[in-house]
Structure 1
Amino acid sequence: MDERHDGTSRRRLLQTGVGAGAVIASGALGAGTADATTGTAGVAATGRHGGRVDTEHPRFTLAVVPDTQYQFDQDRGDAAPLTATFKWLIDQRGAENIVFVAHLGDVVENGLAMEFAQADPVFKLLDRARFPYSVLAGNHDIDGSKDDTRGASAYLDTFNPRRFRWMPTYGGSTPNGYNSYHVFRAAGRQWLLLAMDWRPSDASFAWARGVIAAHPKLPVILTTHELVNADAGNPVAYLTDHGNRVWDQLVDGNDQIFLTLNGHYWPPGRVTRKNAAGNDVHLHITNYQDRYYGGSGMVRLYHFDLARNTIDVETVAPWILGQDPGRRSELAAAEVELTDDTNRFSIPVDFAKRFAGFAPEPVRPARPAKQLVIPGTAAYWRFDGPVGGTVVDQSGNGNELTRVQLSGDVPTASAEYHADQPGHGSWLFPGGKNPARGAYLKTADGAPLNAMTFTDGYTIEAFVKLADDGQDHSWEGLLARLGTGRDAGKTGSDPDEPVVKLGFSGGLQVQWAVYPLDRNDTFTNWGHEQRAGEWFHLAIVNDGRHSIVYVNSSELLRNPSTRSNGLATAGKPWLVGAGHYANTIDQSFAGHLGELRIVTRPLKPSQFLTA
């Protein structure tokens, strides 16, 4: 086994605000970019074209090139389509964060030296651009009647292990040279790609199992020439006879293999099967040699998005894409991009859950409360212990909370918590209204927090998981201040409204409604609809002039630009887990509350409890 690749490092999924379908603009990458081939953060890609790739960004692309055999068919081929594809991939490398290119075999039609001589300079485009790639033998590249112990071939003369040694991704090959593996870094972790021969021998299957065993924490993508087939008119793929052998010898018992890619047959198709561990394996066939111009050099792009737990797949023909639209032939115009459900689709993959059996996400350790009592902390309550009559103010300022029991159930301690929550636990409040039921907490009559007006700004943070959005919980309060606008000397549109309330509408929209010091009426920030049953971090930040609502460190839209300074007070207690109207508790909170911190200054997201 010819070994060469740098060591693997422990994955950490990125905490990011990247939205769905985000594309990484070439030249727009900041610090933390890397060469996709090295797995070393902070190193720019060495290619001379297409900008840099970012190996830490949660979205990356694997480019897959299936059967190109008709482009290299004695004197009947044309290298232009594949040449255009490789040049396009090089040019788009940074923009699409393309970290690796995998060819699925049948590079040429007849396995002749003259055909490989035609293909060789095309692949040298990737070599010169220092763009890592893999190649494997299809049945047209070699004597298809033999397994990989077949010996010398024109294919092996062209794509032998020596060709790949420049690549830091290259891990090694079988002694016969027909099977190889690569390790590349993307989305903040390392991935293993196996490139297996048309007909691996038993020894080569054993080698592949050994490679996987030597990299026990890495998710594995298997590329080979034949595995599944799909019939015309039915895109649901099925294992071929040889595919069953590959499944039995390699895929089924190796939970790390989550995606397989093969060519050989057409039309394309896909299927999902359960492996021996009960987890999904996605098996895809992609091949376009039956289409116009031998497939026109089509490439399938697998856009992995770990922030969205999705793989978005699209199929394009760069050779045709680069032609003048006014001069394209009728057949070419139809092949620019394939947009049917078989060639353009998305598959949901909960990556952390799927990889948990071999690479579980490390649980972020609990952090002691004293580490989170930063300068300006006015109050800090944690609900990571048993339910009692009081909750200690971890800030040391004496703003302890006392439980007030209403009718119905009492809160219960829960082992659930937000993944980035310092304290590992929460209280589950039963909530309810008409009349208010369950329980809430309040500060003492003389607590220091009651009189504070926050003229220099404030930050209020909470870890929350809402119960269902039934009307029994609509307009529930999470945090409020007793006292009305009238009590604080305000004569606005409804002076019976509380001076401060953080709650949720009937549609689970965040609502921050307050009487500022510098206004005679209520002032409201709105958020979008939250999902019941999902943990989120909520923050309200005021810099002395404006208030901004954040959810999971993302600034929301409906934040007024009107000036808002401080919080009015009538000197009355604060409520946690309830709201009021005209100083009467109208309902209590329903859901989990992990912890809540109030700071007397504006904080940046990098200073939140999630940091």
Structure 2
Amino acid sequence: MNISIRNLAATAVATLGSLAMIASVGIASPQTAIADEPQQPQITAPGSAENGSRFTMAVIPDTQFYSRYSDSNFVPEYGKNPFDVQTQWIADHKNDFDIRFTTQLGDIVDQYWKDNEWQAADKAMKTLDDTNTPYSILPGNHDVTNADVNDNQLDYKNEPFVKWFGPNRAQHVSTYQGSDSTGMSQYHIFEAEGQQFLVFAFAWRISDDTIAWAQKVLDAHPTLPAIVTTHDLLNIAADQVTPVDPILQQGELWNKFISQNDQIFLTINGHFHGSTEKVRKNAHGKDVIQVLIDYQMSYEGGDGYMGLSEFDLTHNQFNFTTISPWVVSKAKDGKKLTSYDKPVLTDTNRQYSIDINYTERFKSFNPNFKAGTGSTGSLLAKAQASILDGFPGTPADDESIAEPGSTDDYTRVPGTLAFWRANDLQSGKAVTGDMTVKDASGNGNDLHRLTNDETKSATAQDGDVTVSDDHDQYSSAGKSLTFVGDNSTGRYSALSTAADAAVNNADLSKGYTIEAFVRVSDDWSAAKNQWTKILTRTGNRSRIPNAPYDKWDGTAAAAWLGISNLREIQWSDLPADASKGTWDTWSSEVPLGRWMHIAVVDDPATGMNTMYINGVPMIRTSQNRGGMSFEKDKAWLLGAGMTNDTVDNGWNGGIGEVRIIDHPTTSKDWLLARPDISSDGTLSVTDQPASSLPEGSSVTSLSGKGVPGADITVSGSSEGDAKVAEDGTWTVTLKTPATAAQNDLTVTQHMGTRQGASKQVTFAIAQPASKPGDDNNKPGKPGEGDNPNQPTQPGKTGNGGKTANATPNAAKPSKALGSTGSAIATVLTVAVIVLAAGVTALIIKRRAAHRH
């Protein structure tokens, strides 16, 4: 029976996964990225639930990827983008939750020169305009034409932000009070609970001129509590929890303006990937609450997460929660959700309450400040309840993606060109020039380590590439290679294919899949490890025909998988039509010290090149492309890159299994998946003995078909085991031939510890009939081989009594057979001899009588 070797027990999610939710919300492991039974969230809002005077302010963090991928990804799939949904939700619920003001924190777009991105942002913010919903908006570094200079050094009259969101538009917002001379910064005054609050929306890299303008604004409104919003201010540490005080330009904003003005009690910013908060003392010894919120590096470019801050004037609390109207919108539209899709985030730094006695805090400049007369329960609790109303639940972990049961427990994919695994190398041993990393595809593309002379690294050491037992839990190899690299000292090592390796000239014009298990070292830093490489197809882009000039990558290798200065995984290559130039596909920010599976899939049929992290597609795809250009006879490198024909950019961390496939694949083919060894049809016994075999038969083996790499175990009245060959066939030689009257065998398919399908094999073998007088068969002394169920007549087989593995008298008789068949034969022989002797004696006697 034929079997399918790629019928997987699980499929990967169809939507993107985040890596600053990797680093901040938490990257899902492969099984958590799959939809299964939904989980209803149990959520308690921060702060007091008792009635009091309170209002809220909405916060929209970096929207750049919503704008950038609106036309290409979001609208085609969803009919809208998360930015649209955020502003619509605010407009729809501003009265329900007393949302008095909304602030957008910059990086409105990703590429300031692309009008379609500004158009997407314009459409989203127009919802607030059309509903008279007050808001501020400000430019981040992605929104200005030169992020390296101060605002007053820009040709601000021609800045895209001024064109789309400058004073001409802002003047129609009810709370707008004015802008600075560049038109890039603005301020608003809104009213809530009988009090007024002032909000600054500062541009990227404001100058001393803008600070002076802001100071005049405060001086003109000396009694108003003030909030500063800007793109970058409070930073976050690599642990994605600890707040880090601003330095450089934004440090100056704190030192020169925020800390000096006691009216400023709250700052909110984005830019830095993640979310955190702190309370910092100003120059007057008073508390300033600082909030960072930025989800751009999260699932689907942020998955629509936004902040809702509550000012509880009665209970003296500043409360904050993180919600996603986008997640709810997807659910209502019947879109497939993943375990990333949580409508409310409640973990560290995403929901919190900070004590602040507003009256006491403001009395130095506004002694008349007091709570309003409003009396309502928690507005955050009300908003959360609204968000969750009717939500079907976040999908639970899908346990059908299993950990591998053996080193052979991986999917086999036709078209695999190279498959490098370290499973047969000795753990703890340095990989030196006399060792090879085998190509498990069978195509002979083994890797060997280059010498320091070949890499031109003066600081690399033999121990910089070692074999480790550390590996991704879903990697069946069970081992990996650990690389030590440091670009600041020129320390890097590389493994290379041989000069004549077939994969060097692989034609990937019809698309491809690149897979790798990777771990970024815990001690990774941008200074030492930015732009380092995991896998490189060497060569030089400047020599590839029709490749256009590229100021960044003009002499770079043909293709590579690596990491950026912002800890994003990057795939870069020239498509088959090299004239289209370099195309890059990116992940979000990835965590340190954690294994992940990367798949890059290039599909010329769709023109899409997509990166997947742990089975989840990244939003930052490249499009209108297909295939890969390359330079002939150039090697592939593992653990380093190449620029201008020189090895460089050595990896710092772990590299597990790496596979190259000559066509686009889907998640069911990837190394995260497990071969289906349980379904009907994945195991068969092709030479199963007939149910009844003739006397003297002996079954010595069983054969069949199974999943390549699987283990086959026979148990029962006889035992044996074997491995399924790569062609899907297996043969088990039984340790003891089956010769008993009744034989019951179980054939089980498994991948080491992972159990699969089983088959029952049952057959009878006719035994010789017992003769009266056999001492071993007298009443009370049953023969050893007696079986009350054994047939008295040989059974008929479907092939005339012949079976491939059932051989009459072919094997040494068993003990049982010896007490029935061979014992009877001995008795018969003796009887014949006795009879012959008797006949001879009678003849002699008669002849003697005749003589006499």
Q: Which has the higher helix share?
A: 2
Larger-gyration structure (1/2): 2
Q: Which has the higher strand share?
A: 1
Highest RCO, 1 vs 2 (Cα 8 Å, sep ≥ 6):
2
